[in-house]
Structure formats: C-alpha cells, structure tokens
Amino acid sequence: MVLIVVRNEEQIPLSTICSKLDLANNTLTPVIQKLVDKKWLSKKRSAKDSRCLEISLDRNSFKTLKDIRNKVWLTQQMFSKLAKQSIEELIEQHHKLNSELIEISEKLAEKL
C-alpha cells in the first residue's frame, strides 16, 4: 500500500503517507525503512523542515513497479476468463479433484 501511495506523488511527506493509510508514524517507519533498504523508496530530509522526511520512489523501482502492475493485469485477465464458469461449478470441480487425489493417494499407500 505504501508503494501505491508514494507512486502517485513525486515526493510525499511521511506524515501524509501515515494519514492516507490511517497508520501511526511508529508503525509505518520500519516499513518505510525496509523499502528504502530494498531500494524501492528513497527518503530525505525536507528542505522546508528538517524534522520531516520526504519519501519518493527510487528511480530504479519505477520500471519494476510497472512490470509488476502489468503481470497483475495479465493475471486478472486470465482469471476473468475462468469466471465464465459459476463459482459453484468451480467449487464442485475442486471437491471432485480433491476426492480423486485422496483416492489415488490411498491406493498408492496400500501398494507400499
């Protein structure tokens, strides 16, 4: 969620991220630090107020984030094709598959 909030801004104060996600500063600070350590985000002191941190996407993370969004979109497209079957039919097929796998597993166990 942090990446989504930051993605929409060039630079955003940590306090704004906290308020948009309805999280306390002490809750979000370790998350931000981990994302900085992993090179997803950059942080620097605000020029206006040195007590404030300005958070932005690391320049290398733009492409990675775009690639992830594309993969998510493709996955959604694949699942939307599955949605033509009713959920009830999918659940029924899932139960049948589980039953068959249990039966096969039991037969294999008997032979060993």
Rounded to the nearest angstrom, the gap between the alpha carbon of residue 108 and the centroid of all alpha carbons in its chain is 39
Phi, psi of 44 (to 5 degrees): -150, 160
State residue 8's pLDDT score. Answer: 82
Tokens for 47?
Answer: 């020029």
pLDDT one-digit tens code per residue, 15-31: 999 999 999 989 999 99
pLDDT tens-digit profile of 30-73? 999 999 999 999 989 888 888 888 999 988 888 888 888 899 98
Q: State pLDDT tens for residues 72-95.
A: 988 888 877 766 667 778 788 889
User: Do 36 and 3 form a contact (C-beta atoms < 8 A)?
Assistant: no
Neighbours of 109 (CB within 10 A): 8
- Tokens describing residue 26: 């002490």
The pLDDT value given to residue 34: 95
Check residue 84 and give its pLDDT: 65
Name which residue leads in pLDDT, 112 or 49: 49
